Structures are given as structure tokens and as C-alpha cells.
Amino acid sequence: MMHMDLLLIHTGGTIGMVPTPNGLAPQNGVVEDAISARLSAGVTLHQYVFDPLLDSADVGPDHWNEILSVLASHPDMPTIVTHGTDTMSFTGAALSQALAGLNRRVILCGSMQPLNTGGDAEGNLDLALNAALNHSDAGVYLSFAGKLLPADGLTKYDSHADNAFRHILQAPLTPPTRRHFTPKRLAVLTLTPDFPVAALAAMLSELDGAVLQVFGAGTAMNNPALYDVLKVAIADRKRIRAVSQSTTGGLEPGAYAAGSALWAAGVENGGLETPEAALIHLWLN
């Protein structure tokens, strides 16, 4: 019988929660037992369980580093990372970019309903196990609603439906400048009509860089004060990376005169990137 090792990194999330008088809460052992019960005799399960287990709203760069450290200490093992859905797209982008070129296979898995409640969790976990144990393509993927989605450009487009995620096409990944997350004050900012420029200046004064969601294929309002704020921030070595507010299609610098001042100010073109992917790019490059 062929022997295989499988690594489980359980961060928390709905998939491992149980009902309590105060609502759903994570409980140790739920995910671990569900996976163990599904493994054949030839598979050895290695477990790393976050303590405490996290709602994904609390997941951030320190936790991404923790996951990456565990992966590095278990080289060559196919891995399942169980995780809540609310920030799954950020973690998917973080692991995809940090692991680019390292020939690791990581399957993210979560659910809209907990295990043992007759919902989607069992199906998502079964698909994740099959993807981890029976396929060898490198990369980071999300197992969800009967589909295996590349995790580099995820978006959670429905807050309740089992089929909650879509994958947005991204440019091919390249190895990043660094493979861990250092302290940076970053945020995603969204332009709106008549956006108050003073508010943008105040936000940028507190940040090391930002993802700026602009209109359409790469346009912004014709307000010289806006571009002066961007120029000052960029001159102060704050990176501003633009992405489109449209879900798909990305940016096309030069297509419209209304966007030319963005690029003249030194704003970076995020191309096809989702806001989450662009934020991770600023962290790792």
C-alpha cells in the first residue's frame, strides 16, 4: 500500500463551529475528526491547529506568516488549510503570491454551514481531500461548492449562498520579492464621485501605501487637488496601486484621457488584480 502524508492547518471558521447559547462558535476537534474519519489507512495526518481558533475576520499578516512557517516545516506535503469565508480571498491571494514558484500544493477549504449540520461543509471537505491526495499540480486552490478554484483572484460575491466564490482571472504569478509579511500600514481605498480630497490626504498620511480602486478601465475625476495629494504621497515613498472597481476586465492605462493624470502622478497599474491581490502585492514586493 502506498503511503502518503497530509498536512492539515486548521485556522478556524464556520466549518469547525458548533451551536452554542450565544451562536456559532469554533470547537477543537470538529474538523480534525471529520478529516481523520475520511482518510484511508495509507495516509498519515499531520495537524497544526491555531490556538485560539479564529473567525476569519481576525486573520491578518501575522497569521499568514504562521501558515507559511508551518508549510516550510512540512516540505513537500500536500496541505489543506481550513479557514473562514469572510477573508478567504485575502488569504488565498497571500498564500498564492508568497508560494509562487515553490511547487507547493495547498487546498483552502471553508463552508457556509458548519460540519454535521447537513450543509455544504462535508462536500467541500471531500473535494479538498480528493484534490490534496489525488492530484499533484502545484498551486493554491479553494475547494468550494463542487469547484476547485485558483485562489490567486478570489472574490466572495455572495454572503449567504453555498456558491459564494468566484475566481477572477489574474496575470501569471511570479516569485515575490519576499515570502513573508513585514509590518506595513496598508489599506484599500475606493474613489467615489466628488471624493473629499482632504479625507484621502488624511488617510494616506497614516498609511505606508494603498490600493486605490478607480473607475472602469482606469479613470478618475478631473480634480487637480486629487492628483497633488497622490503625487505628494508617492514622493514620500508611499506606493499607490490602482485596480478597477469593475469585477472583471482590469485596467487599460491610456484608454481614456480621464485617467492619464493617475499614471503621470506615479500610480502603479494593478492590471487584472483584485483589490485583495493588489494589497498582497504591495506587502510582498
Determine contact, residues 94/278, Cβ cutoff 8 Å: no
Per-residue pLDDT tens over the stretch 77-94 = 999 999 999 999 999 999
CATH 3.40.50.40 boundaries in the chain? 186-284
Mean pLDDT of 225-249: 97
Per-residue pLDDT tens over the stretch 199-226 = 999 999 999 999 999 999 999 999 999 9
**What are the residues facing 23 on neighbouring strands?**
20
Mean pLDDT of 263-275: 97
CATH 3.40.50.1170 boundaries in the chain? 4-167
pLDDT of residue 140: 98
Determine contact, residues 75/162, Cβ cutoff 8 Å: no
Query: Is residue 1 over pLDDT 70?
Result: no
Query: Is residue 276 over pLDDT 90?
Result: yes
pLDDT of residue 3: 86
The size of the chain, in residues, is 285
Query: Is residue 76 over pLDDT 80?
Result: yes
Chain centre distance of CA 225: 33
Determine contact, residues 206/185, Cβ cutoff 8 Å: yes
The model's pTM: 0.96
pLDDT of residue 25: 87
pLDDT of residue 22: 87
Rounded percentage of the chain residues whose pLDDT exceeds 90: 92
Burial of 258 (0-12, 13-18, 19+ CB in 10 A): middle
Query: Is residue 2 over pLDDT 80?
Result: no
Cα–Cα distances (Å) from 62 to 58, 94, 144, 177, 246, in that order, read 10, 11, 25, 18, 30
pLDDT of residue 136: 83
Of the options 3.40.50.40, 1.10.10.10, 3.20.20.80, 3.30.420.340, the CATH number for the domain spanning 186-284: 3.40.50.40
Q: Assess if CATH 3.40.50.1170 describes domain 4-167.
A: yes
Determine contact, residues 203/237, Cβ cutoff 8 Å: no
Rounded percentage of the chain residues whose pLDDT exceeds 70: 99
